[in-house]
Chain A
Amino acid sequence: MQKFKVTFLPDHLTITAEKDKTVLAAAISAGIYLNSNCAGDGTCGRCKVIVNQGQVKSQPNGIITAQEKKNNVYLACLTTIQSDLEILIPDSSRMDKDIQTDSLRCDATIEPGDTPGKNFGFCFDIGTTTISGQLVNLNSKKILGTKTAYNQQAAFGSDVITRIVYAAKTGGLEKLHNALSGTMNQIIQELVSEHKVDLNAVNRIVCSGNTTMMHLLLSMDPAHIRRQPYVPPANFPSVLRAAEAGIQINPQGLLSCVPGVSGYLGGDAIAGVLSSGIYQKEELCILIDIGTNGEIVLGNRDFLVACAGSAGPAFEGSGVTSGMRASSGAIQKVSINKNDFSVKYSTIQDKLPRGICGSGYIDLLSEMLASGIIDKSGKIKVTGKRIRSSDNGGEFVVCFKEEIQAQADIVINEADIENLKRSKGAIYSACAILVKHLALEFSAISKIFIAGGFGTYLDIEKAIRIGLLPDLERSKFIFIGNSSLAGSREILLSSQARRMADALASKMTYFELSMDSEYMEEYSQALFFPHTDLAKFPTVKF
């Protein structure tokens, strides 16, 4: 097999790659992660690269415009290596992989670094889109620091199904595992060095995540997760050496996973129940985790029912044109002037805006509805200097690039709105179907715990106005941040919590929604702002 040298700019990384290998595959081999929501099927158009030098072969597609063609722009996934190459990767195609230190809400105090203790642990929340890790002093039970990064697996598709399909390809499982363990090791590395902790003093890791992520972490074939009914494999280990999962801590260190309930309801939901404490409450509670997999748990100390409303990554800032994680420079608050559609916003850490995060999108949608920019189906219905057409339907400019000293405008288009509408619809309808299956009413719920990677800000009022959350008394809502991470920390710190997690997993009743025709009905109803049945949102008026 003929081999060629491929150099990636601006990184100046050179690797040797076989002829006919795709540029995308070569980039991954070089450790460069490109956006690839479609997992290399050539349909999402997010992995554009510029071929500066050399010969490539590319499949025709409808994504590259004639102008781009002239400028040697190619889709990395459909383009194969035919000679030595020099490839420029534009920022817009690169996955946002910088790790961000977030201030997460938690009840433990944050201790300054340089702790002389000898026993440390990590807890992790492993999401489909986002991974959060936390360094904890196991002696003092104090949190030293938390970091969050995008799951590098996103290069292989944005949802669990696409990843499961990818895992079945030759070498797929290994690549997915490496992307995941790589992200985790990076978080561990940065946190230990920041806090001057010796890696050998890190003895324990607890991970909570959806069932697919746990399989991939342990390099187990996730294919059977898609087949009904899902039965967790007998060999699923509760505890193993972290080294076996490719996680670098003390060589004798242990790693355990929070037990899951079913193929689409993982330990993250159990961890959430544990940390929110709904399993101890007398009154009826609901826990809503606004993540890619959208786990919802309803119940109290008598019973617990759960489902997963596959919401997609839009509220984690992925798969939307100007989306980003809740990190520095993300627009998280928006208001729009009804008369001239001018936009006021605030960003995380008050940096110049780089993009829009989940809470920013919730604000933005609510404001666009209130100011009449979009109709209740999410279509732009007015004209103005901030409104123009794009390949993805009408587009609203939130920030012009000149005002923010950036390469591109920050925008939201009709395809983004459609995407966000589906996400909010999936979450709301999953809540509605749980309530319906138990022949209850939303009004019977006393407390609503909202979890998710929203950073520090979530406007419940606006989340209700777009129909993401049910229209209930505002005082019933409690925003608890990353409940999965908090739950895995409890398990890290207490064996009693560990036993409770096991008990909760066997007690929880799971509803599979994918084949539930009533869910499809609820979901279709929720694909409107705030909802097709306006009577369900009596306090919302546009």
Chain B
Amino acid sequence: METQLVLEKWPGVVSTVIIGAKKEAGGSRGNTVTIGGQNSLPLLFKEGAIPHKPKIAFEIWDIAPQDWPEELISAYAGAINDPLAWAEKCVNEFKAELLCVKMQGTHPDFGNKTPESAAKFISLLLNKVKVPLIITGSGDDAKDNLILPACSEAARGQRCLLGCAVQDNYKTLVASVLADGHSIIAESPIDINIAKQLNILISDMGLNLERIVINPTIGALGYGLEYAYSIMERARLAALSGDKTLASPFICFIGQEAWKAKEARVSVEQGIIWESLTATSLIQSGADLLIMRHPCAAQQVNNYIEKLFKE
């Protein structure tokens, strides 16, 4: 070629995180999900290795969601009122390889379930479905500090992903995750510096950087998507340049944000495209793990990923 290509070879690599443990690894999952491991910018397959596709996890709750729009609720028919049936439907009908369960029912304002009942729910869920689990708290810091250790213990050895650790409240969760062999979600408010600081603080407590996934906190399409987009792009560039403290895969709570948008509630098609395009745009800036709500959107994004990785 007479035009010399501009190729970028990066010294850094995104860390590889495995979610789920099969029997031989001490768990009871039927499959595992691996993310990360790339040493190239997203979609630039010619420049480096991208060993793992971005993965989609279906979001379910431990109680029937109160504020989900009809477009979402109807996609799960009646199953949504029974979290275990809901989980089963995701796996059997929509072929979910990973579930993300939000323990909303433990929130003081939404049921205030006890740590014991939360732990029991996780045990039942682990028996009901054999896919790996992501477990997140209700967002009430004080309550999460009681709930998440209980869930962590109930899922000991299953190599779940637990979250979310934040800068002002990370120690309890890190301790649980360390004790029970899970990985952790480190959440920062659209702020690359806090993301980095939190990773340093967590690894200073003895949790290996390879067991951290960054939740950069995203905005949906039209609602600040570009902030997370650029934060993720910057962080990924830093990671590839060799900054190990930012070299974690990204988890993005796509469904939760996309369905807040008023546009998403105009029609089913618009809701699905809103969630899908939020997801694929963030894949382009580095998302590795997408937490999604609408099965059709998950299917569309999955088609897109397959197409991207076909060659």
* Interface set of A (CB-CB < 8 Å, partner B): 375-377, 381, 521, 524-525, 527-528, 532-535
Whether the pair A524, B193 counts as a contact (CB closer than 8 A) is: yes
Contact B193 A375 (CB under 8 A): no
Question: B241's closest neighbor in chain A, by CB?
Answer: A535
Provide the residues of chain A in CB contact with B245, threshold 8 Å. Answer: 534
Can you list 10 A-B contacts (CB < 8 A)? A375-B204, A376-B200, A521-B193, A524-B193, A528-B193, A528-B197, A532-B196, A532-B197, A532-B200, A533-B243
Q: Which residues of A contact B197 (CB under 8 A)?
A: 376-377, 528, 532
CA distance A533 to B235 in the complex (A): 12
A527, closest chain B residue (CB): B193
Residues of B within 8 A of A525 (CB): 193
List of B residues within 8 angstroms of A532 by Cβ: 193, 196-197, 200
Q: How far is the CA of A146 from the CA of B180 in the complex (A)?
A: 64
- Docked pose: A528 CA to B194 CA in angstroms: 9
* A377–B201 touching, CB < 8 Å: yes
Bound-state Cα–Cα, A381 to B204, Å: 11
Complex CA distance for A527 and B191, rounded to whole angstroms: 13
For A527, what are the chain B residues with a Cβ–Cβ distance below 8 Å?
193
Number of interface residues of B (CB under 8 A): 12
User: From residue B212, how far is it (CB to closest CB) to chain A in Å?
Assistant: 16
The chain B residue with its CB closest to the CB of A381 is B171
CB B175 to nearest CB in A, in angstroms, measures 12
Closest 7 CB pairs of A and B: A524-B193, A532-B193, A532-B196, A528-B197, A525-B193, A532-B197, A375-B201
* B204 contacts across to A, CB distance below 8 A: 375-376
Residue B32 at the chain A interface, CB threshold 8 Å: no
Binary interface encoding of chain B residues 195-231 relative to chain A, with 1 for a CB under 8 A from any of its CBs, else 0: 0110011001000000000000000000000000000
B167 within 8 A of A: yes
Establish whether residues B196 and A533, one from each chain, have CB atoms under 8 Å apart when the complex forms.
yes
Contact among A377, A381, A535 for B243, CB-based, below 8 A: A535
Complexed CA–CA distance, A101 and B58 (Å): 70
A376 to B205, CA, bound (A): 11
CA distance A521 to B234 in the complex (A): 12
What residues of A have a CB within 8 angstroms of the CB of B193 in the complex? 521, 524-525, 527-528, 532
Report chain B residues within 8 Å CB of A535. Answer: 243
Q: Which residues of B contact A376 (CB under 8 A)?
A: 197, 200-201, 204
Tell whether, in the assembled complex, residue A377 and residue B167 are in contact, meaning their CB atoms are under 8 Å apart: yes
Q: Give me 6 other A-B pairs in contact (C-beta within 8 A), A381-B171, A524-B194, A528-B193 excluded.
A: A521-B193, A525-B193, A532-B197, A532-B200, A533-B196, A534-B200
Q: Which residues of B contact A521 (CB under 8 A)?
A: 193
Q: Which residues of B contact A533 (CB under 8 A)?
A: 196, 243
A521 to B191, CA, bound (A): 10
Q: Shortest beta-carbon distance, A525 to chain B, in Å?
A: 5
Q: Which of B146-176 contact A (CB under 8 A)?
A: 167, 171
- State the CA gap A524–B192 with chains docked (Å): 9
**Chain A nearest CB, measured from B89 CB (Å):** 42
Hey, which chain A residues are within 8 Å of B167, CB to CB? 377
* B171: nearest chain-A partner, CB-CB: A381
Which of the listed residues A377, A381, A524 has the most CB atoms from chain B within 10 Å of its own CB?
A: A377
Best-buried of B193, B196, B204 by chain A (most CB within 10 Å): B193
Instruction: List residues of chain B with CB within 8 A of the CB of A528.
Output: 193, 197, 200
